[in-house]
Each structure stands twice: as structure tokens, then as C-alpha cells.
């Protein structure tokens, strides 16, 4: 039996401001840092030895993982960073406030942008300062791999490919992944075999570890959120 912890980063500055964030590189709020520390305490209480630690490239995920590791007294040296675990790119919506865009485009269209399977927003101009090609943190990512916009399907394809090729082989041991709302939704779709309709309903809370238990054949045996008070009861498998 082995375990996989999936954790969405703690509350970010743009979560608080209700902006479309995507690949924009914004840090945690004070509340987000507390969520990360609480996640670390919940993991520490389980006394499960974790062998692999993965994070996206983005600072809100990296800092969440560093706070978790500090809480469970593990050095940061072993963090494996993967841009493929980054949040979904929100294209031309990046940086815009969700409530304002609902007034301009209508709630139905914004919901479709946020939750649909294969409906991406328009592309973000590569001259925009929020475009990943203009963010130093992403300088070592091949330019032809950096998107201008993404649907959830696009996100799913890159996240699941990375998971299948790099993380799945390590599931004979215990693994911790800190990523984002949509990259974790993509992994949940894959691991729980969710259809394109159920994935629309799936919400991932910030800073609440989702503990997935696997049997000896690496099949999902059980899944639960460690912070029961903030659990989302939408996991179906």
C-alpha cells in the first residue's frame, strides 16, 4: 500500500482578489501561508514517510511545498520542479477580475471558460507582461512548449503525460505533489476516471491535502481530504 498527497497551493494574492491567475506568478497571502502550515501539520500527524516531493514552477506552489516541508522537518533539497504541473493558462483573461468579466461577458460564458472541458479563452498576447515568455521563472522552458491559452483538456494532456512518465513509477513509495486547482483536477480526472461532465463539478480547496491510497497494483483504493471541515465531497471513483 502506498500514498499520494495532492495539494493545491494555499490562498494566493490573486485568489483573494478573485482574478484569473493561470501562469502569472503571484505569491501566497498570509492566510495562504497558514493553510500551507496547517497542511504540513495534518501530514505530520499521519507519520507517513514521504519519498518524493513535486511542485509546479510557480511560486505559490513552491512556497506552499517549502512551508509544508519546514513543518514536517524535511530539507528542501529534494523538491522536483515540473512546469507541466503549472496551472491552466487562462489566456486573455489573465489578470482580469472574475466578477468584472461576468458583467462584461455574462456569467454563463465565464463559467464555460472556467469549467468546460475543451473551451479555451482567447490567446494572451506575447507582448503582455503576464505572458509566460516575459516571466523570468519560465526562462528554461522551451518557447514552443509555452501556451498562449489553454482549455482544461490541454492542461490534462500535459499534466497526465508528466504524471504517467515521471510520477506513477514512484507510487510504490509515498509521493507528495503541490500544484494548482486545474492541474489537480486533471489528475483527479485521470486517477478517478471521471467523465467530461463530472470534471466540471469538481472543486479543489486551497491548502487541503487530498490523500489517495493505492493498493499493491497501484489502483486507487481510497481518497479523503485531511481537513474534514473544508473537504469537497465530489470525488467519485
What value does the mean pLDDT of the chain take?
94
More confident residue, 107 or 67: 67
Active-site residue 9, yes or no? yes
Residue 135 belongs to a domain: no
DSSP 2-59: EEEEEEEPPPBHHHHHTB--TT----B-HHHHHHHHHHHHHHHHHTPPP-EEEE-SSH
Active-site residue, from 3, 87, 131, 180 = 87
Name which residue leads in pLDDT, 16 or 115.
16
Share of the chain above pLDDT 70, in %: 97
pLDDT tens-digit profile of 206-235? 999 999 999 988 899 999 999 988 876 555
Residue 229, Cβ density class (10 Å: 0-12 exposed, 13-18 middle, ≥19 buried): exposed
Answer whether residue 158 is part of any domain: yes
Domain CATH code at residue 24: 3.40.50.1240
87 given a catalytic annotation: yes
Label residue 198 by pLDDT band (50, 70, 90). confident
Residues 14-70 pLDDT 10s: 999 999 999 999 999 999 999 999 999 999 999 999 999 999 999 999 999 999 999
Q: Is residue 61 part of a domain?
A: yes
Number of domains in the chain: 1
Range of 48's domain? Answer: 2-86+153-230
Structural domain contains residue 134: no
Q: pLDDT tier at 127 (50, 70, 90 boundaries)?
A: very high
Distance CA 58, CA 105 (A): 28
Say if 50 falls within a structural domain: yes
Does some domain include residue 110? no
Q: In this model, does residue 237 exceed pLDDT 70?
A: no
**Is 213 part of any domain?**
yes
Active-site residue, from 3, 9, 131, 180: 9
In a domain, 201, yes or no: yes
Amino acid at each position: 500500500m502506498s500514498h499520494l498527497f495532492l495539494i493545491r497551493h494555499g490562498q494566493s494574492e490573486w485568489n483573494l482578489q478573485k482574478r484569473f491567475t493561470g501562469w502569472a506568478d503571484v505569491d501566497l497571502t498570509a492566510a495562504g501561508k497558514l493553510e500551507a502550515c496547517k497542511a504540513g501539520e495534518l501530514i505530520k500527524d499521519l507519520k507517513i514517510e514521504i519519498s518524493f516531493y513535486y511542485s509546479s514552477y510557480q511560486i505559490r506552489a513552491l512556497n506552499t511545498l517549502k512551508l509544508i516541508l519546514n513543518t514536517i522537518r524535511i530539507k528542501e533539497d529534494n523538491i522536483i520542479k515540473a512546469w507541466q504541473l503549472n496551472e491552466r493558462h487562462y489566456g486573455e483573461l489573465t489578470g482580469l477580475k472574475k466578477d468584472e468579466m461576468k458583467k462584461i461577458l455574462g456569467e454563463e460564458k465565464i463559467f464555460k471558460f472556467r469549467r468546460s472541458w475543451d473551451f479555451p479563452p482567447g490567446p494572451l498576447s506575447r507582448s503582455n507582461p503576464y505572458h509566460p515568455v516575459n516571466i523570468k521563472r519560465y526562462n528554461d522552458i522551451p518557447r514552443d512548449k509555452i501556451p498562449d491559452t489553454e482549455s482544461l483538456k490541454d492542461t490534462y494532456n500535459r499534466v497526465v503525460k508528466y504524471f504517467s512518465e515521471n510520477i506513477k513509477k514512484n507510487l510504490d513509495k509515498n509521493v507528495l505533489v503541490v500544484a494548482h486547482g486545474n492541474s489537480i483536477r486533471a489528475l483527479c480526472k485521470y486517477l478517478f476516471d471521471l467523465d467530461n461532465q463530472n470534471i466540471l463539478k469538481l472543486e479543489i480547496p486551497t491548502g487541503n491535502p487530498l490523500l489517495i491510497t493505492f493498493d499493491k497494483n497501484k489502483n486507487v483504493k481510497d481518497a479523503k481530504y485531511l481537513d474534514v471541515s473544508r473537504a469537497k465531497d465530489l470525488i467519485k471513483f
